[in-house]
Amino acid sequence: MSDCNRCVHLHRDPMNGTCDAYPTTIPHDIWSSEAGHDELRGDEKTAVTFEPINVSPGMTIGAFRTSKPRGKGARDQRGRFAPPGKGSSGGGGKSSEKAKAPADTDPIEHDPDFPVKDGFRRVTTHGERKALMGTHGVAIPPGYRNVQVSIDPQAPGLRARGTDAKGRVQSRYSAEHAASKSAEKFARISEFEKIAPKLDQALKRDATKDPDAGAVQVMRTMGLRPGSTADTKADRKAYGATTLEARHVSFSADGKAVTLDFDSKKGGHSTVTSRDPQTVATLKAHTSGKGPDDRVFDTSDAKTNVYIDRVTPGFTNKDLRTTLATGYARTIVRKMPRPVSPAEVRKAKRRVAEQVSQVLQNKPDEALKSYIAPEVFDAAGWD
């Protein structure tokens, strides 16, 4: 096994690109092609391409290509790297001097008009804030204002809250509450997987004609978030399946692949490519005749939920990302040798999470904690 210096995977054979992590072969010429590789990797943190795989009956994930910028400037809207100071919106260049950590006696700022929640009290110093991990089992970043904590340190749900640098309220819950919500979420996914073929059949019928179904198709097969038109107070506007514009969509020369290139949540940039025929046909149909700034799908988060609930009652578009991640993780696990020791299990789970996070455009820890159902590993006898 060797570490291919042209991509992020460990290859059994770096010349033909047989990848240990995926149940398929990655065509190595994609990476060794000078123009193609430079476009894909550049100064990015990660990049990945893989062939179509089946993750559930009637559904295929196409070949994805994902990337996130870092280092020498962020990408522009079409995915090209912009040097610092020339159109980039962050990342790159010399960072400013790190802010000095507040002393324990330094006060936490509180806005007089920010109400104290019933059963809570204000946290007045940074020393008290840091002690919350020991007293309440929650951590609050030093930059938060209006920090409040539950009077009961063993409160079963919300234990602390505050406002971040953009004035958004951020909440911290007990570990037990988080575990309970996580278990409920994955139980929903288990039920959804049983009836997901009904949704896939409906999408096959509707996706090229109905904008609500078209957006659901993109979420279902490409892992995009729904998207929203609400003001999130972010520095850059983020896009999702319901808010994509025609300029974010491009097709390969042979017309068999579609690439979405857009600014995503939390200041990231996403480039995702699918070769799923139905997804390609859907995006061709909904971008035909549209200008660069026209919305791809005349729909909304709420409308896509109405469509999903009509076909698979009780489920929402938020279930699609988790289902995709769990199905993909299950496919990877089936192709991997069973780890024996606890250390091998941890490493193997990490590898699965890394691959899933490439599709979801998030971090491996987040993918493992919030998107991959634990039963994937239980069923394989990993735990």
Q: Under DSSP, is residue 61 helix (H, G, I), strand (E, B) or coil?
A: strand
For residue range 19-37, list pLDDT tens digits in order.
333 333 333 222 222 222 2
Average pLDDT over residues 2-12: 32
pLDDT of 261 strictly over 70: yes
Residue position matching structure tokens 């696990």:
333
Q: What average pLDDT does range 149-174 have in this prediction? A: 94
Q: Are 185 and 192 in contact (CB under 8 A)?
A: no
Residue 140 forms part of a structural domain: yes
* The domain boundary residue, chosen from 144, 173, 202: 173
Residues 201 and 321 in one domain: yes
| Domain of 289, in residue numbers | 42-92+174-383
Q: Among 97-111, 223-237, 263-277, 362-376, name the most confident range.
A: 362-376
Give the integer Cα–Cα distance in Å for 142 and 123.
12
Of 92-106, 156-170, 299-313, 345-359, give the lowest mean pLDDT range. Answer: 92-106
Q: Which of 157, 173, 189 is the last residue of a domain?
A: 173
Tell me what the mean pLDDT of segment 188-209 comes to.
Answer: 96
> What is the distance between the alpha carbons of residues 303 and 215, in angstroms, rounded to a whole number?
10
Answer whether residue 70 is part of any domain. yes
User: For helices 211-222 and 175-206, what crossing angle results, to 10°?
Assistant: 120
Residue 5 in this model has a pLDDT that exceeds 80:
no
Which of 353, 350, 323, 379 minimizes the C-alpha distance to 59? 323
Residue environment code for 103-121, b if the CB has 16+ CB neighbours within 10 A, otherwise e = eeeeebebeeebeeeeebe
- Shared domain for 237 and 369, answered yes or no, is yes
- On whether both 273 and 139 belong to a single domain, the answer is no
Query: Which is higher by pLDDT, 40 or 200?
Result: 200
HSE toward the beta carbon, residue 152, CA cutoff 13 A: 10
Question: For the residues 262-284, what does the mean pLDDT come to?
Answer: 89
CATH code of residue 237: 3.90.15.10
Provide the H-helix boundaries in the chain: 29-32, 34-40, 126-135, 175-206, 211-222, 277-287, 301-311, 318-335, 342-360, 364-366, 375-379
Q: What is the pLDDT of residue 181?
A: 86
pLDDT, mean over the chain:
79
Q: What is the pLDDT of residue 230?
A: 73
Taking CA atoms, 277 is separated from 13, 25, 127, 251, 282, in Å, by 30, 20, 57, 12, 9
Longest C-alpha distance within the chain, in Å?
Answer: 64
CATH number at residue 152: 3.30.66.10
Q: Which residues pair with 4 in a beta bridge?
A: none
Please report, for residues 87, 144, 282, the alpha-carbon distance to residue 53 in angstroms, rounded to integers and kept in the order given.
38, 43, 19
Between residues 143 and 95, the one the model is more confident about: 143
Which among 338, 369, 342 has a CA at the least distance from the CA of 353?
A: 369
Asked whether residue 127 is assigned to any structural domain, the reply reads: yes
Contact 85/93 with Cβ under 8 angstroms?
A: yes
pLDDT score at 332: 95
Q: At residue 14, does pLDDT exceed 60? A: no
- Within a domain: residue 4? no
Q: Please check whether residues 293 and 358 belong to one and the same domain.
A: yes
pLDDT over 80 (residue 241) = yes
Question: Residue 101 is encoded by which pair of tokens?
Answer: 């950590």
Residues 6, 30 contacting (CB under 8 angstroms): no
Same structural domain for residues 261 and 307? yes
Closest to 119 measured CA to CA, from 102, 136, 98: 136
**In the predicted model, what is the mean pLDDT of residues 330-337?**
94
Task: Give the end-to-end CA distance of the chain in Å, rounded to a whole number.
Answer: 26
Q: Are residues 233 and 343 in the same domain?
A: yes
Q: For residues 325-344, give the mean pLDDT.
A: 94
Tens digits of per-residue pLDDT, 279-331? 999 999 999 999 999 999 999 999 999 999 999 999 999 999 999 999 999 99
117 contacts: CB under 8 Å, gap ≥ 6: 148, 158, 161
Q: Tell me whether residue 22 is in a domain.
A: no
Residue 31 included in any domain: no
Q: What is the pLDDT of residue 346?
A: 95
User: Is there a domain that residue 320 lies in?
Assistant: yes
Q: What one-character DSSP code corresponds to residue 368?
A: I
Residue (of 218, 220, 228, 274) closest to 251 by Cα position: 274
- pLDDT for residue 234: 63
- Do 249 and 335 lie in one domain? The reply is yes
> Is residue 163 included in any domain, yes or no?
yes
**Do 238 and 332 belong together in one domain?**
yes
Looking at the fold, whether 331 and 360 belong to one and the same domain comes out as yes
Report phi then psi at 349, rounded to 5. Answer: -60, -40
Q: Please determine, for residue 94, whether its predicted confidence score (pLDDT) is greater than 70.
A: no
Highest mean pLDDT among 15-24, 47-56, 78-87, 147-156: 147-156
Q: How confident is the model at residue 269 (pLDDT cuts 50, 70, 90)?
A: confident
For residue 359, what pLDDT band results from cuts at 50, 70 and 90? confident
Q: Are 145 and 126 in contact (CB under 8 A)?
A: no
Q: Please count the structural domains in the chain.
A: 2
Say whether both 134 and 266 belong to one domain. Answer: no
Residue 97: predicted pLDDT: 55
The alpha carbon of 368 is separated from its chain's Cα centroid by a whole number of angstroms, namely 11
Burial 339-366 (b: 16+ CB within 10 A, else e): beeeeeeeebbebbbbbbbbbbbbebee
The answer on 271 and 162 residing in a single domain is: no
pLDDT at 232: 61
Task: Say whether both 162 and 185 belong to one domain.
Answer: no
- The identity of residue 291, as a single letter, is G
Residue 175 has pLDDT above 60, yes or no: yes
- 3-class DSSP state of 180: helix
pLDDT of residue 41: 31
Q: Give Cα separations from 261 to 64, 144, 199 (angstroms).
A: 12, 33, 26
Evaluate if residue 155 carries a pLDDT over 90.
yes
